[in-house]
Chains A and B, each alone.
Chain A
Amino acid sequence: MSGTFSSINTALSAIRYNQVALDLASNNIANANTDGYVRRRLVAGSVGGPTTPAMWSKYDGHGDGVRVVASQRMVDVLLDGRVRREHGTLSYLQTTQTVLKRLDDAIAEPSDNGVAAALQEFRSSWHDLANNPGGDAARQQVLGRAATLVQAIHSQLSNVTGEEADQRVHMLSLVSDVSSAAGDLAALNQTILSSKANGNDVADLEDQRDQLALRLSELAGAVTTVRPDGMYDVTVGGQSLVSGNTASSLTIASGITATGDSDGTPLTLAVTGPSGTTPVTGLGGEVGAVSDLLTTVLPGYRAGLDAVAKDLADTVNAQHAAGYDASGAAGGDFFSYDPADPAASLAVAITDTSKIAAASVAGTVDGNNADALSQTGNVESAYQRLVNSFGVEVSTLNSRTTNQQALAGSVDESREQQAGVNLDEETVNLMTAQRAYQAAARVMSTIDEVLDTLINRTGLVGR
């Protein structure tokens, strides 16, 4: 037989439980649009009799109410890992795409103003000179068109070098972002561990930590693993960045100076931690994208332009040297360049129109060397190949990004299914808790009335 007041306690436990349920639902609703918020679910447990049988007494109650077992944070660790991975790949692709798109627009082919058009006009000017080898106007036109061509190559090159300079500065800020995120994550690891031990609710801290882990994946393609004690370990490129409560920092080992200039060596990265500095490669995310751009993609295009400039200068110079200028002297170099840096240093070596070697017979107004110059080399096709391979790269990247976006979107959706707040659901929870609260209050007043009957209305016989 349970005590008289135990039913009041049962009702009280229900009121308390439903109070918590109301709090939780309202917190979920409040955070319905908070980034990184994972919905909580209240787990109830009924309070029953003692689990261990006693020798001299037995439990004769019918349940002693309800209690809060846990406030569950609805995460799926595997899904979170998947989200991080796909977002790391997506941010790699998007970063690369953004940069290459700018370059793609700047190349501006096919058009009437690009390098290809300048090459055609340069060739035409040799034809015109061949038609009129004695005319100063035709000679002036050759020099003018050559200058235009050099300028077109320079402006395309400066787009690439400008992009490289931008990305070096970008890299500096990325590296410090990674390091500070790693530091924050390690600190959170420690806070969560000790708060949990103290029995505090750490759900909000865990939300923050998950967001940091995602940010690290987007920044550097970091891989996060969960330790048995609940702390997160993070690695980048196979090197440990966060281990429990100790964080290392990502640093630039070579390639970029502190002011964002190139130091002439290839870009390399390293992880600097308590145990020293270890070189690291194969990063993903934004850092990986910028590093690939700086070490392969942009220098590759620059090398292509260099080859075009060198080919142009060499073939034109060779044919030019075979002819004779207006004074009958053999032709000198038409273009000048520094072999170490052909595209940037390409310039027209001739300023005097009479130095153009149009004639193939000395001391005449022959135009056959100018004609040969109009036919020499095949720079166009080298340039077309360069533009084509760049275009293929960008268009492949575009479709890969679109695919990856769809993939990341679907993974995000799965995560949202699990962790997102559904307002209808929370409204239902709210109503359920409200009704249960009302019923528990009703139980209380019922018991109260019962007791009232028992205390005030009994034993009145004969009064």
Chain B
Amino acid sequence: MKRLPAFGLLVLAILFPLFYKDYWLYVAVIGLYYALLSSSWSMLAGQVGIISFAHAAFAAVGAYTSAILVIRLQIPIAVGILLGACAAAGFGYLIGALTLRMRGPYLALTTLGFAEIFRIFLTAEYDLTRGSYGLQVPLMFAGNKILIYYTGLGLLVMTLWVLYLILDSKIGLFLQAMREDEDGAATRGVNTVYYRLYAFVITSAFAGLAGGFYAHVVGLVSPRMALISEMGLILAMSIFGGLESLLGAALGAIVLQGLTEYLRTFEEWRLAVFGALVLFTLRFSPEGILPKLYELANAMFHRRSQPVKAGSR
């Protein structure tokens, strides 16, 4: 019964291209990219308690790896995307190993430092990445939006499925224990070093996968992908959708991406709207707006469907 809304959303998502073509379908594809990033980031931040600001940079690692390999080695796009995810996982391992003993703000600032270094490298380097011009990348399915949309949807469903499988396993239990108290988990036998790295590697791999997908959707990768404002967007989407709910974070991304397009005429002011939304969410519904709405709708549905007892009036 609890899975019913998720299946309902999936059916809606499958039917979406029947009603929306071209522009809004493209917006939805970009929404799927951010949904991949938000859900994997919420796994790291909401379920494990590791606040990393390098997630957008990991996506850029995936995007550039896939782009360079596809352009230079002429490998199939799907292989490029997979190798991009592997490269991001490798970077995730390095950053995870570097920050093993760090907690809270120290960890967050170190990941921010990595993200900035990587972005500056992409901008300053020219032979490989063409600096701030970026790289022209072949489009997947020759730009067929419907096929691209279903590929993105498939990737999101697969990502959520894998992440929920992990959360439901003993590893998920260990990660949740570590979020609450790392020393407590370690003294009950949890190899916290291993599982911390595990969380970094898995979530970075999904960020890389998202990045690779994005590269072959928009046909251009540039250092803008690793901008801190991109990370801010992922953060806003995850908080809005519900930091501790993977599905909520994914939905938050799709809703806010739709809102971004809707508010396009406001130009840079839409970021201020996002900021206000995050503040509003954190103040009034820290568990996220979407889980709150779902809870309210559920309560209303149950109230309506309850039979009126005889003599109750």
Please indicate whether A and B come from the same complex rather than being unrelated chains.
Answer: no
